Chains A and B, each alone.
Chain A
Amino acid sequence: KAGVTQTPRYLIKTRGQQVTLSCSPISGHRSVSWYQQTPGQGLQFLFEYFSETQRNKGNFPGRFSGRQFSNSRSEMNVSTLELGDSALYLCASSSTAGTPRDTEAFFGQGTRLTVV
């Protein structure tokens, strides 16, 4: 069974540009969550999608957005990049349809974004 796949693995962008990251969940998983990992702030929740609907959102500015397609693949977009957006962006998928009380989240290897 293939794991969670994130592309690209590494990305270098210039301030002011925009970027799109992709996440393919484990087959059959319909919930996809995104996290930002930085040395200073640790792991922070960005948003969660289920069946193409955003169900939950963290405390990030509107420059951060996402979407989910009918095949459960998800993308996140960051517009007008800032130096502080440099981070490892992790995607996680799970099979739950309801609140994830006892469901494992499977993480991808992440996309390392560097903004210069």
Chain B
Amino acid sequence: EAQVTQNPRYLITVTGKKLTVTCSQNMNHEYMSWYRQDPGLGLRQIYYSMNVEVTDKGDVPEGYKVSRKEKRNFPLILESPSPNQTSLYFCASSSTGVTSTDTQYFGPGTRLTVL
């Protein structure tokens, strides 16, 4: 089954304790992205990656890091989480074929609470 998986699905942590949220896709997609969802704001892009070893900032990158060492994986790293990073996080992937409207497929989400 084609899917995007995220782990963990729920995480409660404390300020300053480094954490990683994993994202993996089995569709051989070149493009991957992280979004955060906050009430009343919709989803906002944090970082994206056009392919292996190619990453760039989205709209709200402060406090986050990413890496893309393998095509299927795109982990989101919070080096020193703060309470304002409490949010619902989504990973997404899509192909980058000749048509630029390729659908983005979303993972199930990771609900993060930083105390």
Q: Do A and B come together as binding partners? A: no
